[in-house]
Amino acid sequence: MTLLTETVLTDDGTAAIDQLLGRLNKLHSSPAVALQVMDITRDPDFEFADVKRCLENDPALTAAVLRLVNSSYYGLSRKITAVQEAMAYLGRRSLRLSVLSFGLVKALANGCPKAFHENYWRRSLSMAVAARKLAERCDEREVHADSVFAAGLLADLGMMALAQLETSRYLETCTDCDHLVEQMNREREEFGFTHVDVGVRLLAKWQLPEELIEAVSEHHRCPATAGKMSQILKAASVLAEVFWTTDCPHMRILLPMLKTRFDLDVDDLITLATECKDAVKESVEVFQVRIDGEIDIYAIQREAQAIYEAAVLETAVDLDSLEGLLATGNGQR
């Protein structure tokens, strides 16, 4: 399996990223309403009326917030049609994250090549819903499901920037990459930095929460000592690879990761994948994007079971060898 080489971002690399993001600002008008809402809601005592007045300047963002609050994520018994009621139900944290998800991510999505656009949303929505499902299996005092959902959507935002500003060069760099580790190594060779470096810099410029930025920065290389959000985002990233890559080499990483960090076995993985399959379908409707194909649960089950059985057999062989050595040693006494 290809190993991810360490990123050591130099001052020149940081300057190159800032220059890239400067070009991005010229290409896109800033997602002003989304950023204004984020600014207003930084104050825990903000007024919902201020946010409502702000959202009235962006009907598409308002509609997106209403679609989200009426989705199965929140399981309401009736449909909410008033934005003020939606905001009151969501609360400060979830309101910020929904605006963040729709306003900032969608602002950068326009202008990307069609094939790249679909691949990006397939991976990002898969990572976001997988992160949410993992968070729901954890203590809510450790991590908030909406927070990791937003982190999953934002994790690979740097890809979007590179695909728009260095289209032919970036797409050529990514062509025929079997998985993201190989892609990131190629990015580093070509540009001197990776899409993660670009994304982290962009999120910092937008003054997003430090915990979220840290999780994004670590989602391909996450130490066991990392915070819960970082661990969830790392696992969600691997899950997204497994969901859409046939015979994915990351399955061998995923199974022990789910067991040691979340106490989930193969059966739990299949349950999780099934939940994610349904959630991705709904997210496509909520975000009004298009992706081809769907998660193949049976393929994931076959692959996971084969790896699990091979590991059990290997353990049994090792035990037989150990027992043989012990028997030989006892016979020589």
- pTM higher than the cut 0.75: yes
The answer to whether residues 55 and 93 belong to one domain is yes
The answer to whether residues 207 and 179 belong to one domain is yes
The answer to whether residues 127 and 97 belong to one domain is no
The answer to whether residues 184 and 35 belong to one domain is no
Longest dimension (CA), the chain: 87
Q: Residue 209 in 3-state DSSP?
A: coil
The answer to whether residues 38 and 23 belong to one domain is no
The answer to whether residues 183 and 304 belong to one domain is yes
For residue 303, give every residue at least 6 positions away whose Cβ sits within 8 Å of its Cβ, in sequence order, or none. Answer: 242, 247, 248, 251
**The pLDDT value given to residue 319:** 46
Domain span at 244? 11-28+111-322
**The pLDDT value given to residue 266:** 93
The answer to whether residues 65 and 212 belong to one domain is no
**pLDDT by residue, tens only, the chain of 333 residues:** 454 555 556 667 788 888 888 887 665 555 678 878 888 888 888 888 898 888 888 888 888 888 888 988 888 889 999 988 988 888 887 888 788 777 767 767 666 777 788 888 899 999 999 999 999 999 888 888 888 998 998 898 888 888 888 888 988 888 777 677 788 889 899 998 999 999 999 888 877 888 889 999 988 877 778 889 999 999 999 999 999 987 778 888 899 999 999 999 999 999 999 999 999 999 888 888 888 889 999 999 999 998 888 876 665 544 445 445 455 555 555
**The pLDDT value given to residue 76:** 85
Q: Is 79 within 8 Å of 70 (Cβ atoms)? A: yes
Q: Distance between CA atoms of 163 and 172, rounded to whole angstroms?
A: 10
Picking from 79, 109, 139, the residue at the C-terminal end of a domain is: 109
Residue 332 domain flag: no
Residue 278 domain flag: yes
Residue 246 domain flag: yes
Residue 242 domain flag: yes
The answer to whether residues 62 and 164 belong to one domain is no
Residue 328 domain flag: no
**The pLDDT value given to residue 29:** 52
The answer to whether residues 287 and 149 belong to one domain is yes
**The pLDDT value given to residue 113:** 73
Number of domains in the chain: 2
The DSSP code sequence of 51-72 is HHHHHTT-HHHHHHHHHHHTST
The answer to whether residues 23 and 152 belong to one domain is yes
Residue 327 domain flag: no
The answer to whether residues 288 and 168 belong to one domain is yes
The DSSP code sequence of 156-201 is THHHHHHHHHSHHHHHHHHTT-SSHHHHHHHHHHHHSS-HHHHHHH
Picking from 109, 124, 152, the residue at the C-terminal end of a domain is: 109
CATH code, domain with 187: 1.10.3210
The answer to whether residues 234 and 291 belong to one domain is yes
**The pLDDT value given to residue 329:** 53
Residue 3 domain flag: no
Q: Is 200 within 8 Å of 187 (Cβ atoms)? A: no
Residue 167 domain flag: yes
Q: How many other C-beta atoms can be found within 10 angstroms of the C-beta atom of residue 223?
A: 9
Picking from 84, 109, 134, the residue at the C-terminal end of a domain is: 109
